[in-house]
Copies of this chain bind each other. A is one copy, B any other.
Amino acid sequence: MTRLSRRHAFCAAWLSLLSAAAATASMTAAQVIESTKPTDWRALDPDNTLVMELAAGQVVIELAPRFAPRHAANIRTLAHEGYWDGLAILRVQDNYVTQWGDPDGESPDKAKPLGSAQKKLPAEFSVPLKGLPLQRLPDVDGWAPVTGLVDGMPVAADPRTGQAWLAHCYGMVGAGRDMAADSSNGTELYVVIGQPARGLDLNITVVGRVLQGMQWLAALPRGTAEMGFYAQPQQRTTIQRVRLMADMPEAERPQFEVMRTDTDSWRQLLDARRVRREEWFVHSPRHINLCNASVPTRPRTAAAKG
C-alpha cells in the first residue's frame, strides 16, 4: 500500500467513523437495537440459568456467580434436585418484593429436606471492586459513588471501601435471610417488583436477576398479612418446578439471547435512553439511572441456533 493510498484509507475510515457517529447520534433505542450485529448478543449459559414454571408462564433467572458464588452453587444444586418443585410463592408486598420458598420452611419437622445442598452459607453482600470488569456509567447515582454493569447486571461500588455489590433494581433476585447476616442459603428467594429497593443493598445476598417473565411475578395479588405474606395458604401460587437450564432437554430450553454490555451498540443504547429522539418526546433527561440501564433480550436468531 502506498503512503498516499494509506492516507486515503485512513481518511475514508475516519469519514466512515464520523458518519457512523452522526448516524448513531440520531438513533432511537429501537433503532440501535435494530442495527445491532449478531456479536452484540450472547446466548444464555445453561449452567447459570434457572427456569421457573408457574401455571401462568415461565420465569427465566440468570445467576450471578461472580457476586455470590456460594449461593449460586447452592441454588444450582437445589434446582438440579427439584427442591422448589411444588413449593410456593409466599409473599407479595406491593412496590417491594415477591418471595418464594417452602411454606413449611420455618418448622424443622415439616420443612422440605435440602438434599445435598448446603444448609448454611456465608453472607455474600459484596465483592472487591478491584479487578471487576465494570462498564462504568457516567450518570450520578445518589446511593453509591460509582455505578455500572458487570455481566449485564447493575452494580454499585465505593472506591473508599473497595466494595462492589449488585444493586436492588427491578427484577433483581436475592436470597431471603433472618436476623443473622449469614442466615440465607438460597432456598427462599425474592425479586424486586416495584421501585428500586436500594436500601437493601449491602444488607443481603443478591443472587441474580429475572431476564424474562417478570410479568408473572409482578402481577400477583398482594398478600394482606404482615410484610405481604398471604394470610391463607390457598392464596399462594404454586411453583410447578424450577430447573437448571442445563438439566432441560434442548427443545424445552428458553430460546432467547441477551444484549452484551461491553459493546459500542450497548453504549449507543444508553445514549439513546439519555437523549430521547422519538418524536413524542419534547424533553430529554440527558441522564439515566443505573436501574434504567436494563439489558434487552430478544428471540434467539436462526443463525445463533444453527
Convert A131-160 into 0s and 1s, putting 1 for each residue whose CB lies closer than 8 angstroms to a CB of B.
000000001111100000000000000000
CA distance A288 to B198 in the complex (A): 9
Indicate if the CB atoms of B219 and A292 lie closer than 8 Å.
no
A198 CB contacts on chain B under 8 angstroms: 285, 289, 292
CA distance A281 to B193 in the complex (A): 21
The count of chain A contact residues (Cβ–Cβ below 8 Å) is 43
Indicate if the CB atoms of B202 and A283 lie closer than 8 Å.
yes
CA distance A199 to B270 in the complex (A): 13
* A266 interfacial by beta-carbon distance below 8 Å: no
CA distance A95 to B95 in the complex (A): 10
- Could you tell me the distance in whole angstroms from the C-beta of A157 to the nearest C-beta in chain B? 14
Q: Please tell me how many copies of the chain the complex holds.
A: 2
* A273 interfacial by beta-carbon distance below 8 Å: yes
Convert A263-303 into 0s and 1s, putting 1 for each residue whose CB lies closer than 8 angstroms to a CB of B.
00000000001001001111101011101100000000000
Interface centre among A92, A143, A221 (most CB of B within 10 A): A143
Interface residues of A in 157-204 (CB under 8 A from B): 169-171, 179, 181, 193-196, 198-199, 201-203
A287 CB contacts on chain B under 8 angstroms: 142-143
Interface residues of A in 112-144 (CB under 8 A from B): 125, 139-143
Nearest to A224 among chain B residues (CB) is: B215
Indicate if the CB atoms of B181 and A289 lie closer than 8 Å.
no
Binding site for B on A (CB under 8 A): 92, 94-95, 125, 139-143, 169-171, 179, 181, 193-196, 198-199, 201-203, 214-215, 218-222, 273, 276, 279-283, 285, 287-289, 291-292
Which 10 residue pairs are nearest across A and B when measured between Cβ atoms? A202-B283, A140-B142, A215-B222, A94-B215, A170-B195, A142-B287, A203-B283, A95-B170, A195-B291, A219-B219
